[in-house]
């Protein structure tokens, strides 16, 4: 967790926000990487992996305050990528199983 700082104006103690600020910088860097121009699929994949790494670092930089959200978080880039792939596959499978009477994209 962040260190406790005392405000010189009010004398009130508060948690340092440096870790939150660092997490926000990483999240903004992630967005910048996602918005980079690309020329081919390899560029998209490279940018996506780099952005996911930054996003995972951002999530891990945020202080946790309970035992359920503690630093023992097993969210690695590999686990996040596997979860993302699983969710996309589930979404596509669900859409492919729709009855033809109610297509996702109606034909003209």
Residue extents of the structural domains in the chain: 4-65
Number of other CB atoms surrounding residue 42 within 10 Å:
9
> In this predicted structure, what is the pLDDT of residue 102?
58
* Helix or strand run (H / E) with residue 27: helix 18-34
Q: What is the pLDDT along the chain (108 residues), one digit of tens a residue?
A: 445 555 555 565 556 788 889 999 999 999 999 899 989 889 988 998 999 999 989 988 887 765 555 455 556 777 777 887 888 888 878 877 766 555 555 555
What was the pLDDT predicted at 103? 56
Sequence-separated (6 or more) residues with CB below 8 Å from residue 36: 43, 47
Per-residue tokens: 87: 């969710």
């Amino acid at each position: 967790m962040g260190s406790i700082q005392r405000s010189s104006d009010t004398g009130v103690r508060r948690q340092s926000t440096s870790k939150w600020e660092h997490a926000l910088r990483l999240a903004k860097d992630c967005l910048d990487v996602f918005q980079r121009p690309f020329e081919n699929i390899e560029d998209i994949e490279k940018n996506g992996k780099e952005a996911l790494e930054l996003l995972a670092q951002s999530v891990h930089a945020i202080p946790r305050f309970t035992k359920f959200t503690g630093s023992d978080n097993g969210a690695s880039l590999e686990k996040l990528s596997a979860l993302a792939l699983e969710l996309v596959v589930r979404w596509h499978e669900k859409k492919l199983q729709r009855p033809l009477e109610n297509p996702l994209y109606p034909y003209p």
